[in-house]
Chain A
Amino acid sequence: MDEFASESDSDYTSYWRDWVRWSCPSTDRDAPTRENPNANGPLQFISSRGNEYFCEIDEDYLTDRFNLTGLNTEVQYYQYALDLITDVFDLDCDDDMRETIEKSARHLYGLIHARYVVTTRGLAKMLDKYKKADFGKCPRVFCHSHPLLPMGQTDVPNQKPVKLYCVRCEDVYNPKSSRHAAIDGAYFGTSFHNIMFQVYPALVPPKSSERYIPRVYGFRVHSSAALIRWQNIQRTDMLRRLRKLEVESGFKGDQGDENLDEEDEEEDDIDVEGDTNVVG
């Protein structure tokens, strides 16, 4: 990778490498040599804050045309954008044009990123970032700050911003920071985070049935208690199904049912009818 960069060290290369380097703080490459900084550079550099979610795509991956199949129709000035990403950009053009190309390059990088992160190497890189909790931590109290993974809700670009997935509660959260909320979700895709846990099943944390129960002076509130009861039934059913199939449920100690039974008994004290139809 370094050889590649050194043989094409034009005035223009520095911008892109800065961007990538900044977006991937973990990278251990040397700082770029900027002999003749482009006027556009710093501005772009600042406006690209919030790219911590991206990992650095291997040059090998970028230069293999097979990996980029179909992207030429998605991106304006595809060839120039690709040149910019791979640091071989040498077009003499005005600032507006350059800005357009840089925008295209960021978009293209994102789209390639979505493909790259589901490869073995991409997963490994994202795993490193996940372990460092670079994507933030789950805001849910009972997840106890479990690390999150970025995800998209659609694979089509320019539809929905990036969301964060917590594998512990299997739920989706909005990023805390607005600069992350502006990133396109398609740059990560709908599959990446699930593939991650298929490939590294050991990463899946034990599930817990710990939850918040709304109470007024110690008494459960009827409507939410009924809902919780219904949810517990659903979970018990699922645990039964899994047990029939001899699959580990993933709940702590695989004794979820025992706890549930206790809870059920406890709840029998309040004699109420479930209103499952409301929540179905």
Chain B
Amino acid sequence: MSTSSGTPESWISSFCSLLGHEYFAEVSEEFIEDDFNLTGLQTQVAMYKEALEMILDVEPEDDEDEEEEEDEEEDESIEGGDNRMRQGERRNHSRIASDLSVIESSAEMLYGLIHQRFICSRAGIQQMSEKYELGHFGICPRSNCEQARTLPVGLSDIPGEDTVKLFCPSCLDVYVPPNSRFQTVDGAFFGRTFGALFLLTFPEYDLTKRGADVLAGTRVTEDDKDMLNGMYICNIAPGLGASKIYQPRIYGFRVSEVARSGPPEDEDDASMNLNGRPIRRLRARRKQGQGGQNGSPMTAEQNGVESEL
């Protein structure tokens, strides 16, 4: 780390304070400095060494333009080397203006990949839980989830495939972040594992509580402490279930699942539909024509299903 007496922002904290980077945790330097944590990243990131140096702020002359102030401060602290450093800096700028942007982008990529690993570590997931408690990751847009807090996840661990998504533990679904500034954040920087691991690590969060109650530090109460498969029962998809699934209705009547406009998920509809006369007729006709229908995957499948039953 730099020895400057001022308090210039480190690369990491300036990266995390950028617009659209609100979801990121600040990876601790100990984590990055441990080579074991970086295993295999050399092959994934171009200019790996330079990028790593940039993240750790170890070679100030490699820093981007906006951190020149920091450079100068450090230059002064290096006795005798001032002149040389300035020359070096000038040379640096004339030589590799384009290189800097390459390094900058690969530093972001490298940081993201380290971040993906970091937030699954003990320190990282703790940091993310603090952010979660503060509601940094937004709320579920689904109406029946009643503003449950979401978690940032990726749909792939490979960078460049998809942007960051929000995982709602209440309905176990993923959503596009409401603000377009997150469309530039790679989902791989959070990874597929984090969302599920978070819930397993912190089962005591009461997921049924709304985003507004977050600051009260709501946890599962003693009454509900029945565990099932590592989760509290009240925390298993609290946003789903009979009364939490939208039932389409027209003038108060449920839309039948045989309607063209789509089957609802309510199983009670089966009995209702079977009472209809037109349906009986359909079934009768089907029995007559059973032999005659050929080539339809539907009938073939149906036979299989019946024998299975």
Contacts and interface: CB of A to CB of B under 8 A. Distances in A.
Interface of A: 139-142, 145, 153, 163, 165, 167, 170-174, 176, 190-191, 193-195, 197-198, 201, 204, 207, 211-212, 214-218, 221-224, 226-228, 234-235, 237-238, 240-250, 254-255, 257-258, 272, 275, 278-280
Contact of B229 (A167, A214, A222): A222
Contact of A204 (B195, B197, B262, B282): B262
B236 A171 contact: no
B39 to A, nearest CB: 15
A227 B270 contact: no
Contacts of A171: 142-144, 245-246
Nearest to A165: B246
A200 to B, nearest CB: 9
Given A139-B178, A214-B195, A240-B305, A204 B173 contact: no
A280 B236 contact: no
A249 B261 CA distance: 10
Contacts of A204: 260-262
Interface stretch (B59-67, B107-115, B214-222, B295-303): B295-303
Nearest to B248: A194
Contacts of B252: 190
Given A172-B144, A174-B143, A254-B298, A245 B282 contact: yes
A134 B199 CA distance: 36
B200 A212 contact: no
B289 to A, nearest CB: 10
B278 to A, nearest CB: 10
B233 A207 contact: no
Interface in B221-277: 228-231, 233, 236-237, 240-242, 245-246, 248-252, 255, 257-265, 267, 270, 273
22 contacts: A139-B175, A140-B175, A140-B176, A141-B165, A141-B176, A153-B143, A171-B246, A172-B142, A173-B143, A204-B260, A214-B172, A223-B231, A238-B270, A241-B257, A242-B257, A243-B298, A243-B302, A244-B283, A246-B286, A248-B260, A250-B263, A255-B297
Interface residues of B, number: 60
The 5 A-B residue pairs with the shortest CB-CB distance, nearest first, are A197-B261, A214-B196, A201-B260, A172-B143, A222-B229
Contacts of A165: 246
Contacts of B193: 215-217
Contacts of B297: 254-255
Nearest to A212: B174
B144 A212 contact: no
B174 to A, nearest CB: 4
B141 A278 contact: no
A228 B229 CA distance: 14
Interface of B: 141-144, 147, 155, 165, 167, 172-176, 178, 192-193, 195-197, 199-200, 228-231, 233, 236-237, 240-242, 245-246, 248-252, 255, 257-265, 267, 270, 273, 279, 282-283, 286, 297-298, 301-302, 305
Contacts of B255: 194, 198
Given A224-B196, A238-B263, A141 B237 contact: no
B270 A221 contact: no
B208 to A, nearest CB: 14
B261 A163 contact: no
A39 B122 CA distance: 62
Nearest to B234: A278
Contact of B250 (A198, A238, A255): A198
B261 A194 contact: yes
A198 B259 CA distance: 8
Contact of B265 (A226, A234, A247): A234
B236 A278 contact: yes
A198 B262 CA distance: 9
Given A176-B141, A198-B259, A223-B229, 9 more contacts: A170-B262, A194-B250, A211-B173, A212-B174, A217-B193, A223-B230, A242-B263, A245-B258, A255-B297
Contacts of A195: 250
Contact of B260 (A153, A198, A218, A275): A198
A244 B283 CA distance: 7
B257 to A, nearest CB: 7
A32 to B, nearest CB: 33
A263 to B, nearest CB: 15
A170 B246 CA distance: 7
A171 B140 CA distance: 13
Given A172-B143, A217-B193, A222-B230, A190 B249 contact: yes
A191 B250 contact: yes
Contacts of B265: 170, 234-235, 238
Contacts of A190: 249, 252
Contacts of B264: 170
Contacts of B199: 214, 221
Nearest to B176: A139
Contact of A227 (B172, B175, B178, B242): B172
B207 to A, nearest CB: 12
Contacts of B195: 214
A170 B178 CA distance: 19
A224 B237 contact: yes
Given A215-B196, A226-B229, A227-B236, A142 B174 contact: yes
